[in-house]
A and B are shown apart, each in its own frame.
Chain A
């Protein structure tokens, strides 16, 4: 899952980038409105976390430009502006959610997760694949009562494949999902991560969940 953070506070931006990456999201973080708009235009994100008061271009303008351009990416406004009219304006222009600073990181993650579910048209945070249950809210994989321990990257790959069930996803796409645009280590990492994921699932009796379509990518049936 890819998230774009557009936040001018360097400290907050870096914290969100660290935290969301640790949660298993692919995160791009920029501190300028124009730069953020450019990122959002050229790359498909699941959620954009958008500050309103930004240098270069304010958050509402970024939002308007994206909506005018037909971008349907879910956008969560994260702003210090707490007035009802500010929230209304943000939601009216096309934001999907609005959070006021200071905020709880856990709540932010929960809202991002909810927006991702909405994006994939799934209101239920639990997705069942065979005997395996994936809770996208808790970011947890279970088989029966047994929790299958995955790294954030492995979980991100599994969640993306499950939410896009039946569709083949390339290793490059999965790389973006798990690592974002920056510091990408190369698609080989995805092969290793998928291999590890398969081993962990198989160890718990879930063999053959992640399938390969040679030359194209990976998918879940």
Chain B
């Protein structure tokens, strides 16, 4: 699994390391350049010094490099080398340690010094400089000795004689210095990378602690621990909104789970009795099948159970469709009073207790832009509910009012036989019934839940009220036109 922390850690570490290494390489190159430049300057300086010892007098050139003063050219151990030539390459003199070998020669070089790495005759790595210069004319007191004289050949004009001096010496000291610099830089880099790794690790650990804490708390969440909430002390700004959002989500989820459990429990419970009815009727009917009256009664019972069960299942299916949002409102201009009248007629015809005077006081001209099919179901459920649970002989009234903002309110008022004010909060709950008996035959406790769901689909606000004089009113507030 990818880890942000590991990813950032490795990227920061790699990034820092690359930057450090590149910086160190550039620094090393700069130091090397400067060291070589300084080394070359020293080498050139030495060559220039030697150049002052090359004297000319007429056609004769003398190289006055006394071995006792410059032992570095004479010593057998780690010697330095020189070679003096004319510009045409004619050898004037070379150090004894060179034997018959030559140092590099660049005839085309102007007076500018030429530097080069080379392998010294004794096999060591060395540094070579070549400079060209006109030999110094000897002064009156500097008489050229006979020993070591070089006779310039005829074609050369002594006034334009140009001597080339090459000096080579070991660069071991330079290499050792450079190596020390390289190792020092590498060591510093390693140390810095280690420090960066440590600091980044600590910073990451501290920075990601709230996330790790959040992760651990979320990992502990499950269907059985939905009551837990996320608590983050000193939550950083980047995730400050997260705990609240997760907690809010958990509350919704918990409520949803509880509702689902309750719903499943309710459905299971509601189905137990009809299934018990089916089973008992079947077993008793089968056992005494020779008794036609008993069998007939059992079949009649089975039919009633099946009708009631079918009614409940239809209610559940309606609710399921409404919950899933699959139901769309098909609104047209709809006259309300005839729908209410028709619904009451249905309530009476379906055998619901209907010995209630019914007053349809809906404005006969009231016409609303709504879905007539769903509205009819709403009114049927409301009126059936009122007829079923009202005091015998009490009136059921349906009335319309227009509010100041032009929206319409329709309400159904009745006189319930058992409803209490504390029941009002529950009347739209699924399977809720005032009576503790939940096997109320045709009533499954879904009617008002369906009303609520349908009203939500149509944008109608539904509410209920029970007055002190025990008038129960269900309000439908239609949206403003």
Contact = CB atoms under 8 A, between A and B. Distances in A.
Does A pair with B?
yes
Interface of A: 8-12, 14-16, 18-19, 22, 51, 53-55, 58, 80-82, 100-106
Nearest to B278: A102
B269 interface: yes
Given A15-B280, A103-B276, 6 more contacts: A8-B437, A12-B273, A18-B288, A22-B287, A53-B439, A104-B283
Contact of B279 (A10, A58, A81, A104): A104
B275 A101 contact: yes
Most chain A CB inside 10 Å of its own CB: which residue of B273, B438, B441: B273
B298 interface: yes
Contact of B272 (A8, A15, A102): A102
A15 B435 contact: no
B37 interface: no
A108 to B, nearest CB: 8
Contacts of A100: 272
Given A53-B438, A54-B436, A81-B269, A22 B283 contact: no
Contacts of A8: 437, 439-440
A14 B436 contact: no
A9 B273 contact: yes
B296 to A, nearest CB: 11
Contacts of A55: 435-437
B305 interface: yes
A101 B268 CA distance: 11
A104 to B, nearest CB: 7
Contacts of B278: 102
Contacts, number: 87
Contacts of A10: 301, 304, 441
A81 B304 CA distance: 22
A62 B272 CA distance: 22
A103 B281 CA distance: 11
A80 B273 CA distance: 6
B438 A102 contact: no
Interface in B75-112: none
B269 to A, nearest CB: 5
A138 to B, nearest CB: 14
B298 A18 contact: yes
B288 A101 contact: no
B436 A19 contact: no
A14 B438 contact: no
B251 to A, nearest CB: 26
A10 B301 CA distance: 8
B284 interface: yes
A9 B277 contact: yes
A173 to B, nearest CB: 26
Most A-side CB within 10 Å, residue of B276, B301, B435, B436: B276
B284 A101 contact: no
B437 A54 contact: yes
Contacts of A80: 269, 272-273, 276, 438-439
A15 B277 contact: yes
Contacts of A11: 277, 281, 301-302, 304-305
A9 B278 CA distance: 12
B294 interface: yes
Contacts of B272: 80, 82, 100-102
B291 interface: yes
Interface in B130-183: none
Interface string B37-74: 00000000000000000000000000000000000000
B297 interface: yes
Contact of A22 (B269, B277, B291, B302): B291
B36 to A, nearest CB: 92
Contacts of A81: 269
Contacts of A54: 436-437
Interface string B244-274: 0000000000000000000000000100110
A19 B287 contact: yes
A65 B387 CA distance: 33
A215 to B, nearest CB: 37
A104 B280 CA distance: 7
Nearest to A7: B439
Contacts of B287: 19, 22, 105
Nearest to B304: A11
A101 B302 CA distance: 16
The 3 closest A-B pairs by CB, nearest first: A101-B276, A80-B272, A19-B284
Given A10-B304, A18-B297, A105 B284 contact: yes
Contacts of B439: 8-9, 12, 53, 80
A82 to B, nearest CB: 8
B261 to A, nearest CB: 12
Contact of B436 (A9, A16, A53): A53
Contacts of A12: 273, 276-277, 280, 439
Given A55-B437, A58-B436, A102 B276 contact: yes
A8 B279 CA distance: 17
A129 to B, nearest CB: 27
Nearest to B298: A15
Contacts of B280: 12, 15-16, 19, 102-103, 105
Nearest to B295: A18
Contacts of A19: 280, 283-284, 287-288
Contacts of A58: 436
Contacts of A105: 279-280, 283-284, 287
A81 B294 CA distance: 29
A119 to B, nearest CB: 24
A22 B297 contact: no
A209 B138 CA distance: 171
A192 B272 CA distance: 42
Contacts of B273: 9, 12, 80, 101
B450 to A, nearest CB: 22
Interface string B281-322: 101100110010010011001101100000000000000000
